Structure 1
Amino acid sequence: MTSVSGPRADPAPLFDLVTGFPPDDAVDVTVPMPLSLAVHMTMLESTGHSGDLALLRKIYIRQARVTARLVQDRHLADAPASARLRITHIVEERVPGTNGLRPHVHAYVGATVLSPDGAAVPVDLERLAVVADAEVFPDHRDRLAEATAEQCGLVWGETPWGAREIAGPRWLTERVADLRHDDLSCRGPYPRHQIVAGRAAG
């Protein structure tokens, strides 16, 4: 898992992606990408722009690793630096029942904090939900905007439905406006208690 700045160690893995599955008491922190970027990627896929789409996929996978780490760092901001969460994340590109690409991250979080004194401290679900909305989703969105602007030339700006979305062309704006009220949530490969980041974030 990719590190970001700070003294805290990376999260411990919660389960093995090949042979395991998250425990029943795990929490699924689901982090979507901005809808305009998903629609843009769908257009690239449908029109055969495989090179541009591959670059965006690479950017997204890299940013997903940082986002999984951020779930820990923001949730444990006031905890000792040696405290850690158990997190395994999965990137999915599609939402069942929805046409087109809808990339998103499922960060499965273990129910307890790995405390330095060995105590089994429960993860604060209320705090996790607040952090997911107020910090994890905006950071995820803004890092994607910055990386795709720099590497792909995409232009981002504020829209009536989001604080940061791809600005134009007109067809993209109209398509996003049509889709923005749809239920684009995904239960993921392992249905668990779910927190969908960004539902309360502007």
Structure 2
Amino acid sequence: GTGAVGDQITYTFTVSNTGNVSLSGVVVNDALTGSVNLAVTPAVLAPGDTGTATAAYTITQSDLNTGNVTNTATATGTAPDASTVSDTSGTAQGNDDPTQTPLTQTPGIAVVKTAAVGGTGAVGDQITYTFTVSNTGNVSLSGVVVNDALTGSVNLAVTPAVLAPGDTGTATAAYTITQSDLNTGNVTNTATATGTAPDASTVSDTSG
């Protein structure tokens, strides 16, 4: 897939017998994929031989918000004297570094503004603006606010203030019509919505 929520990461475990006796019952345990005693093929490894096993993990929204998936597994085999040997997975033989799978974060936000004129549109009547803010990216956005100079709105909170991908929040603000507005024949307004991504970067959009 594209590394989106619901896509899968397939892990391949390559297990090598680095000793001088055969190992039987070779298995892998991996909490992330829910693998308990996952059989390695072949399950009996002569010295120098290698076996493999695979397991899959489904990407969650939390993973995308973090920006990566970290995984560690353990391989175990039984020697002829019934003793067991184990090793923690690494990125290469000789290390136990966790496997880090990066996920691409693409934060995005969009705001649409609508206006409703109260009364007859006379001086002193109010225009109520509704700001509809959408999370158009693939990570959650927090602290979502609207700034609108015309209505005097500074960091006007959107409800809800945290938007998951695809979610929408709203906020409202009012403006009182003046004689100058009537003389002009219209009221023009532009607002900006801003949200903060999990990596602390911000995204903004100007209302349309």
TM-score by length of 1: 0.26
Greater helix share, structure number = 1
Tell which has more relative contact order, 1 or 2 (C-alpha 8 A, sep 6+): 1
TM-score by length of 2: 0.26
